[in-house]
Structure 1
Amino acid sequence: MRALILSDIHANLEALNAVLEAAAGTYDVLWNLGDVVGYGASPNEVIEIIRPLAQLNVRGNHDRVCCGLASALGFNPIARAAANWTHDEMTEENRQWLAGVPKGPIHPEGVPGIVLAHGSPLNEDQYILTMRDAWAPLQQTGIEITFIGHTHLQGGFCQREEQWHELRPRYETRNDAESWILPLPERTRHLINPGSVGQPRDHDWRAAFAIYDSEASEIVFHRVPYDLTTAQGRILMAELPEKLALRLREGR
């Protein structure tokens, strides 16, 4: 079984299209880890692509706010402005679909040892940024592989007995499509972040995703370039905060 893992698309249509084109024919199921909308200027278009394609969806914090399930008051002013714009821009049908996306963690049926979450599997709003953050989820859940998003940082953490490691893919460029393979040894627990499709924050502007291959016991991390200029132009034309367009080029 090969699963395409996407997270934090954030209404970036150009990045999503580039990812789906790059991944075409290489996966059996698509799992979406949340934050389909927010920040970007194409919420309806992105939802209408993801809805029929994803076998499993987990809600993100921006999804929760943008569809009206939670207040935007906890967001910074830029995120709040984007969330309010997104709420008004979405169709009623798409708002209702987003409101029905379940909270993580989710256990894919028929796939033992796998969990899907947006933030920590212990708290959907918690960011797992450091080994200290990863310690409790790795110790308490007992799950072999937990796929998470939320941080927009591709990589993760693993633990085997007394050994702990932080995982960061290593790439050669910042311009071309590249991949990096992570073998999955037995008796090892992993927290894996596929990275953000639509707004990476690891100083690499390229769209990020991952493919989990259960038969090969590996995860392949990917980065692909996309039509950045058009994505930025959509944000500016929508009169969203200019910083949301500028940060796409910076990858942060």
Structure 2
Amino acid sequence: MRALVLSDIHGSLEGLEAVLEAVGTVDAVWDLGDVVGYGASPNDVVEKMRSIGTLHVRGNHDRVAASLSSSLNFNPVARAAALWTQEALSPENMEWVREMPHGPVQPEGIAVSLVHGSPLDEDDYILSVRDAWAPLQQMTQPITFFGHTHVQGGFIQQGTAWRELIPEYRTRDTAETWELTISPESRYLINPGSAGQPRDGDWRVAAAVYDTEASTVTFHRLPYDIIKAQGKILMAGLPDRLALRLRDGK
């Protein structure tokens, strides 16, 4: 089975469409949350994910956009985007976002977990080996796919050895892939990266494909119509910062 793993689309229809076109046919689509927030196409993205998504996990921006928690913990830019999204979402799409499940979620018959932030807390950021230590010890499955940081890669534990997983690419302007072979002796925290707002210094949108038969995870970095995405943000009256940061991937 081939599963497309997406996270942090953040209302970017352009990013999502670039991923779907490049990856092609898959058997499942796993969504790690933050479908909305920041970007200017929340309804289009939600409707697309409603039609193609197999499993979903809510993110913190989904939760705030659905008025399930306060925006007061967000910085001013994120808060402005969340409040705009609350007004922009149609009633049907708002209800769908509100009903997104709390992680972890497990696909039936597959030894993986899907979370937004961490297997231990949906709002935790896993950015370092120190952050990854406790989740790797307490995970109920050998592989957990997570998002939230907008940084593609992850962390691996094999016995007493620990290391950070950083996909290696040759360029910053073309479509590229990088493949990881899954070892049965290791435990993995894997982040597919952001399909809407990368923050690892690479402007290209990111995703991953997990192949259960080949025991591989293929990471993707893909150019997309960034000018169109930026224009939509500015025309919607969202903060300029949300458009400008897309070019830097930060």
Matches within 5 A, 1:122-141: 122-141=120-139
- Asked if the contact 1:60–1:118 (Cα under 8 Å) also holds between the matched residues in 2, the reply is yes
1: distance between equivalents of 2:138 and 2:70? 30
Listed one character per residue, the Cα deviations across residues 83-102 of structure 1 (whole Å, up to 9, x for unaligned) are 00000000011111000000
Partner AA of 1:161 in structure 2: G
Secondary structure of 1:80's counterpart equals helix
2: distance between equivalents of 1:238 and 1:245? 11
Partner AA of 1:39 in structure 2: Y
Secondary structure of 1:164's counterpart equals strand
Listed one character per residue, the Cα deviations across residues 108-160 of structure 1 (whole Å, up to 9, x for unaligned) are 1121x200000001000000000000000101124210000000000000101
Secondary structure of 1:34's counterpart equals coil
2: distance between equivalents of 1:173 and 1:79? 30
TM-score, normalised relative to structure 1: 0.98
Partner AA of 2:158 in structure 1: R
Report percent identity of matched pairs.
61
TM-score, normalised relative to structure 2: 0.99
Q: Which residue of 1 aligns with 2:95?
A: 96
2:182 corresponds, among 181, 184, 194, to: 184
Partner AA of 1:76 in structure 2: N
1: distance between equivalents of 2:145 and 2:86? 27
Listed one character per residue, the Cα deviations across residues 46-92 of structure 1 (whole Å, up to 9, x for unaligned) are 00000010110000000000011111011000000000000000001
Instruction: Tell me which stretches of 4 or more aligned residues in structure 1 moved more than 2 Å.
Output: none
* Displacement after TM superposition at 1:185 (Å): 1.1
Secondary structure of 1:18's counterpart equals helix
Unmatched 5+ residue regions in structure 1?
none
Matches within 5 A, 1:1-252: 1-25=1-25, 27-111=26-110, 113-252=111-250
Question: Could you say what the CA RMSD is over the residues aligned between the two structures, in angstroms?
Answer: 0.6
Unmatched 5+ residue regions in structure 2?
none
Q: How many corresponding residue pairs?
A: 250
